[in-house]
Each structure stands twice: as C-alpha cells, then as structure tokens.
Amino acid sequence: MADSPFLIVGGGIGGLSAGLGLARIGRPAHILEKAPRFEEVGAGLQVGPNAVCALQYLGAWDAVAPHCVSPAEIQVRDGMSGKVLQRLPLGSGFEKQFGAPYRVAHRADLHNALLESARSKPGLEFQNNAEVTGISVAETTLSLKSGKELNGAAIIAADGVHSGIRKQLLGQPGKSPIGHLLHRGLMPIASVPASVNVDVVTLWLFPGGHVVHYAVSNWRHFNIVAAVEDPDVSLWTAFQGACQPLADILEQKTDWTKWPALDFAPARNWSRNRTVLVGDAAHASLPYLAQGAAMALEDACVLSAKLGERSDIPSAFAEFSELRFSRASAIQKKSRQLGRIYHAGGVLRRARNAALIAMPLRRFTRQVAWIYDWKPEGK
C-alpha cells in the first residue's frame, strides 16, 4: 500500500494542483480525468498574492507568469453613474505589503501551465476517459465506467461543484443554488471600446447584478463576467440604464456563455478514512471574491504539507480539513454577503457608494488583507 499511488479524481485546477503538491513530497499519484483531454473551460480568473505564493510553493509559478497580465489597479465603480467609488493600486507598494504580485489570467492558461508543470514531475501519471462511477471508502477503491477498478494509497476528490464523491462521502445533495446567473464573455483586446480602461480590473456595481472585466492571456484577450440575480431576464435588460462605458462593453459582439452561480453551505468534515475532498468539491463558493482557483491552490499546499508531516493518511486528511475549514467557510460566507452588497439598489446603493467613497485606502486594503496575507507553511 505504501508504494501505491494516490488516486486523484479530476484533472482541473484542483486535481493538478493536488498532484503537484504530492510530487513536492515525493508521493506518486494517478490523475483521472473523465474528459477525452485535459482542458479547462471558462474565461478569466484573478490570481491574488495568496494564489501566487501557492503557485510558487507548488513549483508552477514560472510556467504561469508569462501568460498573466499585471493590472495597474482595481477600480470599483457605480454602474449607473459611472462614478469611481474606490481604487486599490496594485503596484510595488501592494506587492511589498503582501509579498507577491496581483495578476489576472485566462483560466485555460493557468490550467495549461499546471498541466505542463505536472507532466514534468516524476511519479505523476495521467489518464483520460476515466469517469468514476463508484467509490469504496473502506477499500480505497474507485470503479470506472470502463469496468476497471483502481486501488490506491488514498483518494483525493477534485471533481468540482458537481462532485459525485462528495455526495457519497457526506450524504448531502451538495449544491446550494442562489439563483444568480453568470454571463461570461471573451473578446480580442483590440475590440474593446475606447471608453473602457483595459489597464485595470474594473468592478461595476449595479442594482440586481454586477460586472467584472480585465485583460488576460498576456494582453491578447479581454475577459468579462456579468452576474445577474434574475436568470430569466436578458443581459441587456438586467443592466438597462447602465452608464456609457458599461453599456459599451456589454453591447459588444461577444459569444456569451451562461453558468449558474453555485456554492455549498460550509461543511466541516471533508474526509473519511483515506478519502478527502479538495477545491470546489469541498467548499465551492460564489465567485464574488475571485478566490475559487486560489482556494484549490491553497488546499494543495496545505494537504501536501500535512501528508509530509504525517505517515498516517487518515490523520493527515482530518487535520487538513480542520485547518482549512475556517478560511474556506469564511470565503463562502463573505462571497454571499458581497453579492447582496454589489447588487444593492435604492437607499442601500446610495449608502454603499457613500461609504466606499469616504473609506481611506488603508482601511479598504485592510478589508482584503485577510485574503491576500495567506502564505504556505515554510514560505
């Protein structure tokens, strides 16, 4: 059993990160992906200092960095008036404070860089068309759709928000639908209207929804995500009355993809025996703090550290769950809270805007410091 590989279910950002963490401590792993190819769908993501530190720890940052964009600042703006409510500069002072830079990237670029790094590590094996249909927690065995059974030293479930292993492990239906719908779009950077500043991460707050946009893929593309509370209305109806720059970006010819915004109610225990949940399978959150990928990267660092310290795998898994619960659940809860704040209308909107305008930069920075201050053990 000691020489058996860890079985990692899911070849996305969480699964590849977990594999890199195991490779870092010399543990073999077999990464199973049900799709014919290892690839990532979606659009952009934000790579805060905590995510950069995790990537450095996992040995993947050098592969990721060339594909990132370094924005000048984050701007929070009112989507009706166009007024800038708050700015967070992301230059040398920010990097010095948090010990790492803030970057933005296309999800596929991050995934490809993780895959490239993982393929270079000894002890990691990869298998496509490997859909898991059953699990024996007692025997640490996976059943595949092909009819094969795999037995490993342990099972790491990185199979996302729709995780079948989570349902078997925790006996819960999983997803906690909030009803919001995410519209994701990607356009060539040259197509961005002149009224839109491509050098910043912009968060537009609007009654009943919000929009985030920024450049990705080393300035080749522009990523847009629009969240709306009413999934039955069109994107243009939802943002009717938007100020000119926001209207300009939403009116561009873009192939929008629609995704339901899903999260989990926090669950304290993510493991049983030699099986553990990581990433969205354990603690999916709404994307309103832009921390989904970062949490999976952090998980990989903490899990590998615990496995490196302990020979007893169930104990290492239990300690990992205990250590990560408070942070992951705080991200989940704060993301839901921000959805209400971002989408406020009427008197609440005006009060929110006034508070943001009056807030000193130092205080605004302190409100995100608890996210960005995270570092892996020993870093």
Task: Please report the domains of the chain, with CATH numbers, ordered by start residue.
Answer: 6-176+263-372 (3.50.50.60)
Residue 194 · residue 201 · CB < 8 Å: no
Nearest residue to 161 via CA among 360, 335, 10: 10
HEC readout, the chain: CCCCCEEEECCCHHHHHHHHHHHHCCCCEEEECCCCCCCCCCCEEEECHHHHHHHHHHCCHHHHHHHCECCCEEEEEECCCCCEEEEEECCHHHHHHHCCCCEEEEHHHHHHHHHHHHHCCCCEEEECCCCEEEEECCCCEEEECCCCEEECCEEEECCCCCCHHHHHHHCCCCCEEEEEEEEEEEEEHHHCCCCCCCCCEEEEEECCEEEEEEEECCCCEEEEEEEECCCCCCHHHHCCCCCHHHHHHHCCCCCCEEEEEEECCCCCCCEECCEEECCHHHHCCCHHHCCHHHHHHHHHHHHHHHHHHCCCHHHHHHHHHHHHHHHHHHHHHHHHHHHHHHCCCHHHHHHHHHHHHHCCHHHHHHHHHHHHCCCCCCC
pLDDT in tens, 252-277: 888 899 999 988 888 888 999 999 99
Question: What's the rounded mean pLDDT across residues 326-354?
Answer: 97
Radius of gyration in angstroms for the set of CA atoms belonging to the chain, rounded to a whole number: 21
Nearest residue to 259 via CA among 236, 282, 285, 225: 225
Q: Which residue has the tokens 């996992």?
A: 58
Q: What is the pLDDT of residue 1?
A: 52
What are the tokens at 180?
Answer: 């919001």
For the cut 60, the answer to whether the pLDDT of residue 27 exceeds it is yes
Banded model confidence at residue 379, pLDDT cuts 50, 70, 90: low
Banded model confidence at residue 176, pLDDT cuts 50, 70, 90: low
Q: What is the pLDDT of residue 377?
A: 84
Q: What is the pLDDT of residue 223?
A: 96
pLDDT in tens, 196-239: 999 999 999 999 999 999 999 999 999 999 999 999 999 999 99
Cα angle: 196, vertex 199, 204; to 5 degrees: 50
Q: Count other Cβ atoms within 10 Å, centred on residue 255.
A: 8
**Residues 294, 308, 128, 162, CA torsion sign:** negative
For the whole model, what pTM was predicted?
0.96
Question: What's the rounded mean pLDDT across residues 302-328?
Answer: 96
Banded model confidence at residue 378, pLDDT cuts 50, 70, 90: low
Question: What's the rounded mean pLDDT across residues 351-375?
Answer: 97
Q: What is the pLDDT of residue 43?
A: 80
For the cut 70, the answer to whether the pLDDT of residue 109 exceeds it is yes
